[in-house]
A and B are shown apart, each in its own frame.
Chain A
């Protein structure tokens, strides 16, 4: 793609950013040459209502930093404001947040590659730059098997060593549900595309067995669904589509903790999106990971060209339609890939890519409509598993999005040139997914209903997708915003909802476990809590400083006190994959960053911790404040 133009833009952005701060710094240094000042910093995160785990991690870090003489303040912010500051404006010292984990480790490439430093979105928000890591990140996407595993091991060793950010732990999402009302599919999280498509209303005969539901939690590392034994054996599930009488009550009612989808349903928006599950229901993609394998979804089939492992021919299913009734053609697919690479469609001097999909779009060189139903995708030098990620990009209707390919003037919050496509709220999304949005109420709810022209609505699907025959089985799906986990459990207890889409914190899990008729299901980790450093600001560009901060983190203690004890501590961002290395070299790299104190108690050895900072080249004032060169 247009790499030369992009990098020129990157350089300009870097220069622009450096100019102002550089001038100020110069001025400062002439005023007070060689003066070292006590270091103060802010830790941005979300408030406890939003994510108590993140707030507690931030508080933990702040108190430990204070112990080593750094004046650290926790700054709670709303989700979207935090993401704006971290991902768009790069205005932060340290932040604590969730990092979405993807199945394929290629997600590390946009996260850490220096080329993405000046951009927006979950692409190197840290501003980290290491050329040799860059080439390793590029290499792993061309490799497969043990060769790729070796490269990924090397990448992780370097990441642990340099600590561009510090991973803490990856909890297992825990959602509560009422098994007497809904039967959820095994092996997947409730709040997922496969979870919703596989959900079945429990027939009323089973409602008598209220007391049978038990609350259990899983401790096995394999992806499991707890309580499945109880709910599946006690109930006979019937797809609602087979009932004769109209059942207006047949609605699947969920709580969400995140109110952002009620105000914005734009798949291209960065500050308003997290896991994107809601929009997975509304927007289809060419392929979908179904039970861990990438399967043709909107595509009927695909095949790699003979002797050319970079060209994929995709054939679309017949009779695909948008939610507004327009037919879907190969031209829409080609448009989508062009559009996410440049939402201005060439109308501006610089391309304005969608930050949310830059990593995935960068795998693709070109996408052409070979016919009405056939698409040819040319990948760069990319191995098959990495290339498959590009197939999960949501396909957008050209007739809806083309008019928004123009610059907007309301981008004052996001900085830089922005197109309307990136900031529009899209509250009446036209997708082609199995569910269609029927209404939203700001900060209250989102309602959906099954899309009757979806390919899943026809029966007789081939092999792997046959389990979704008939599509979403309820008459409607409703997400109600709740102010906290506790309120969600309360609504569940009064039978006002059927399940929580929001994952419960350890405390609310315990509260849910005490309620009769509620069962908690856990699934495998989808995000990792991490501490992000802004390498654009001193002293965070210094790896020794970051390593000293990383040694303040007692994962063992945090797993017991902040998480639920079953959570896996994470030293590597690939914790949820099979690529975490084993062996002495890895163990040594990890042990070099051991907590400076009594492991498991969270109690810092203040003397030693300070000496770690002194060894890193920092000095202390007479009052015990850590000094940095401004």
Chain B
């Protein structure tokens, strides 16, 4: 999906973005047809406005958190450096060369697959629930998804501001290879736009994927295939972050805890709101 020899002459950033989002969009379209199905889509047609109205406060919360996230990432690094809690050494002391062992499995084919999972698979995993739950009869999973994502971002961002931590590829050059960026250097131009390299603890890729999978398992009665797909994909995303040398094992463990905790928080909030109503 991502080719090392890009023939596109214009901005490499646009080219990479088009490939990543294009891949996710194709997966989204296919999954919508196969998992949601035309009959559900037809049934949901007409009631869209009501569903949107119902879920609006939750989606609004997510939008606000994302907006704050965007602003805070600009000033975050300066606050982090002023606080000066550099966790990189502590994390390395905890887990040592674990990521290096993970990378001993590396093959070119696996790198290609996991790079695709890390970029496009992740975008698909996070966006499909909005389509699937929007058309589902029960609107609770949609609210839960929005609140859960918001919680992930809010807590993740707090950690990013509090701690400075560089990933294994930045501390251990020569031992841990920066597989994604050495195989597809142009992708770093994209991820560099989205992420700051001092923000690796915890892995938001992992936590959001775990949240999406946990909610998918809850809704397995409605979408049995999605429960399986989401679980496998979430595991692959979490693994890819280490395999590609981007995250430490510690970041992934913390990401799993954050992902599960965020679902619990979402349950509590959505449950309370429903009870009030």
Contact = CB atoms under 8 A, between A and B. Distances in A.
A42 interface: yes
Contacts of A562: 174
B132 to A, nearest CB: 35
Interface in B35-88: 77, 81-82, 86, 88
Contacts of B92: 73-74
A31 to B, nearest CB: 26
Given A47-B197, A486-B188, A81 B81 contact: yes
B188 A52 contact: no
A55 B170 contact: yes
Nearest to B11: A496
B185 A48 contact: no
Nearest to B197: A49
Interface in B95-143: none
A56 interface: yes
A495 B8 CA distance: 10
B12 A55 contact: no
Interface in A41-65: 42, 47-49, 52, 55-56, 59
A75 B88 contact: yes
Given A73-B89, A81-B81, A47 B171 contact: yes
B170 A48 contact: yes
A114 to B, nearest CB: 29
A487 B181 contact: yes
B72 to A, nearest CB: 16
B165 to A, nearest CB: 9
A48 B171 CA distance: 6
A228 interface: no
B189 A483 contact: yes
B182 A42 contact: no
A489 B178 CA distance: 16
Given A75-B88, A483-B189, A59 B181 contact: no
A482 interface: yes
A420 interface: no
Interface in B183-201: 185-186, 188-189, 191-192, 197-198
A87 to B, nearest CB: 15
Contact of B185 (A59, A490, A495): A490
Contacts of B171: 47-48, 55, 59, 74, 76
Nearest to B86: A75
Nearest to A485: B185
A229 interface: no
A59 B89 CA distance: 11
Given A73-B93, A78-B198, A486-B181, A47 B82 contact: no
Interface in A496-530: 496, 507
Interface residues of A, number: 30
B172 interface: yes
B273 interface: no
Contacts of B186: 487, 490-491, 494
B88 A76 contact: yes
Contacts of A507: 182
A413 interface: yes
A491 B6 CA distance: 10
Interface in A211-251: none
Contact of B192 (A47, A77, A81, A483): A483
B178 A48 contact: yes
A76 B166 contact: yes
A487 B185 CA distance: 5
B169 interface: yes
Contact of A484 (B8, B88, B188): B188
Given A76-B171, A495-B9, A486 B197 contact: no
A518 to B, nearest CB: 13
A59 B82 CA distance: 25
Given A47-B197, A56-B173, A496-B12, A77 B185 contact: no
Given A47-B166, A55-B173, A76-B170, A482 B189 contact: yes
B166 A59 contact: no
Nearest to B187: A487
B188 A487 contact: yes
Interface in A416-448: none
A76 B185 CA distance: 22
A487 B81 contact: no
B106 to A, nearest CB: 16
Contacts of B164: 77
B11 A484 contact: no
A52 B89 contact: no
Contact of A486 (B170, B172, B175, B182): B182
A78 B81 contact: yes
A52 B192 CA distance: 17
B174 to A, nearest CB: 5
B173 A484 contact: no
A494 B10 CA distance: 9
Contacts of B185: 484, 486-487, 489-490
25 contacts: A47-B197, A48-B172, A48-B173, A48-B178, A49-B197, A55-B170, A56-B173, A59-B175, A74-B88, A74-B89, A74-B171, A77-B86, A482-B189, A483-B191, A483-B197, A484-B178, A484-B185, A486-B178, A486-B185, A486-B188, A487-B188, A491-B186, A494-B9, A496-B11, A561-B174
Interface of B: 6, 8-9, 11-12, 77, 81-82, 86, 88-89, 92-93, 164, 166, 169-175, 178, 181-182, 185-186, 188-189, 191-192, 197-198
Interface of A: 42, 47-49, 52, 55-56, 59, 73-78, 81, 413, 482-484, 486-487, 489-491, 494-496, 507, 561-562
A-B pairs, 9 with minimum CB distance: A47-B170, A73-B89, A486-B185, A483-B192, A48-B173, A490-B185, A52-B173, A483-B188, A48-B170
